[in-house]
Amino acid sequence: MKVTDYFKKSKDTLCSFEILPPLKGGKMQDIFDTLDPLMEFKPPFVDVTYHREEFVYMKRDSGYYEKSSIRKRPGTVGICAAIMHRYGVDAVPHLICGGFSKEETENALIDLNFLNIQNVLALRGDARHFEDKFVPEPDGHKFASELVEQVSQMNQGKYLDASIENGSSTDFCIGIAGYPEKHFESPNIDHDMSFTKLKIEKGASYIVTQMFFDNKHFFKYVDACRAAGITVPIVPGLKPLTKRYQLNSIPRRFYIDLPDDLVHEVEKAKGQDALNMVGTEWCIQQSKELKAAGVPCLHYYTMGDTPTIKRIAESIF
Ligand code: FAD
């Protein structure tokens, strides 16, 4: 079923989880170990992130540098199929522009459609570690809006090869990313919003936000979207902060602010257990307020920390 149909059908706030495919050598069981304990909260869908392969250059004994692949994770298609089969829930693969030509994207969409996967989250992806800006493939998409357009075209039976007449139409529900504290490359929030709007005009039908730790950012963002004429459901993305180093790594990696109160609580916490309590309790309070405000769904970034996410979900659902 489409993600947006779940929202239409449900009177209450739903919950959903996002998982990362395991690093190379990992097994499907790793995913099941993450998800099994969370299924009691009846998420109608689970998102599966996509990660480009990253490379480093290693100096060998010969003195030459050799290109070596690190951080290779399995692709999402098989993982989504396995999740749907095991749990009977919908799986939402993340599709990115980076590393894909339009043709490879089309092939991936054909596979997803074949497996009856009806939802995709369409994203641009980030620059690779050794590049200072995002570089699309020669025949790839530069922005997520172009990817959304390609999926929308397939939904109308239009494939890349224009000679294919009356191609069978897919029926993907397309989600996109939104940034309550703006995307880091954007000069300002209005500029960013205009491209979010473009993604909706090209056919996206819901937004999942970047994580935030102050709900005011989310509420302001929803108001700004509505004022810009964006009417689609907006799903808040949430992640608990449970490690001291995240005080620096989260702002650096996700370009978001952490509220003073949270920073002070984390600094005061003595030991990992106390820190876990602070981060978990903060996320519970955020979730409660968002649920009371009637958001369609609370979307939790699990990032492999099932016990914490489970504790949060137990307090909310
Ligand atoms: P876009 O919508 O293309 O926007 C990128 C930037 O370009 C923005 O600053 C935007 O304002 C600007 N822009 C857009 N269109 C135009 C235009 N036509 N002209 C000029 N400027 C324009 N990354 C992954 O690699 N894998 C994942 O699985 C993944 N999952 C994510 C899930 C969520 C919920 C979120 C919030 C992010 C996720 N990301 C993932 C990260 C995402 O790929 C990055 O944030 C990326 O930098 C931007 O992606 P986007 O889809 O928002 O890009």
DSSP result, 177-236: EE-TT--TTSSSHHHHHHHHHHHHHTT--EEEEEE-S-HHHHHHHHHHHHHTT--S-EEE
Residue tagged 């999926």 (tokens): 151
Three-class SS of residue 65? strand
Find the 264 Cα to ligand 1 centroid distance in Å.
31
**DSSP conformation class of 273:** H
**pLDDT per residue as tens digits for the range 82-118:** 999 999 999 999 999 999 999 999 999 999 999 999 9
User: Who wins on pLDDT, 70 or 290?
Assistant: 290
Q: What is the pLDDT of residues 230-255, one digit of tens each?
A: 999 999 999 999 999 999 999 999 99
- For residue 299, the ligand 1 atom closest to its alpha carbon is 34
- CA dist., res. 29 & res. 103, Å (int): 31
pLDDT at 304 over 80: yes
pLDDT digits (tens, 9 = 90+) for 136-189: 999 999 999 999 999 999 999 999 988 877 789 999 999 999 999 999 999 999
From residue 201, alpha-carbon distances to 2, 81, 106, 133, 149 in Å are 18, 29, 20, 26, 9
Q: Are strands 119-123 and 65-70 parallel, antiparallel or unpaired?
A: unpaired
In this model, does residue 259 exceed pLDDT 70? Answer: yes
Please tell me whether residue 38 adopts helix, strand or coil conformation: helix
Which of 97, 121, 150, 183 for a ligand 1 pocket mutation test, highest count of atoms within 8 Å of Cβ? 183
186 CA: nearest ligand 1 atom: 9
* Residue 301 in contact with ligand 1 by CB distance below 6 A: no
In the chain, where does DSSP find H-type helix? 3-9, 28-35, 76-87, 102-114, 144-155, 189-201, 215-227, 246-254, 260-268, 271-292, 306-316
Average pLDDT, the chain: 95
14 strand-pairing partners: 297
CATH number of the domain that 259 lies in? 3.20.20.220
Tokens encoding 94: 């993340």
At residue 249, φ and ψ (nearest 5 deg) are -70, -35
Distance (angstroms) between ligand 1 centre and the Cα of 145 equals: 9
Strand partners, 121: 94, 175
Q: Are strands 54-59 and 65-70 parallel, antiparallel or unpaired?
A: antiparallel
Beta carbon of 181 within 6 Å of any ligand 1 atom: no
So what's the pLDDT on residue 64?
A: 84
- How many Å lie between the centroid of ligand 1 and the Cα of residue 123? 5
Question: Where is average pLDDT lowest: 66-75, 138-147, 211-220, 244-253?
Answer: 66-75
Contact 260, 266 (CB under 8 A): no
Supply the residue whose CA is at minimum distance from atom 40 of ligand 1. Answer: 125
pLDDT at residue 70, as a whole number: 64
pLDDT at 87: 98
Overall domain count for the chain: 1
Cα–Cα distance measured from residue 145 to residue 131, given in angstroms and rounded to the nearest whole number: 22
Query: Between these two residues, 24 and 150, which has the higher pLDDT value?
Result: 150
Distance (angstroms) between ligand 1 centre and the Cα of 282 equals: 27
The pLDDT, as a whole number, for residue 71 is: 61
User: 55 pLDDT exceeds 80?
Assistant: no
Nearest by Cα to 66 from 74, 57, 75: 57
Range of the domain at 27: 3-316
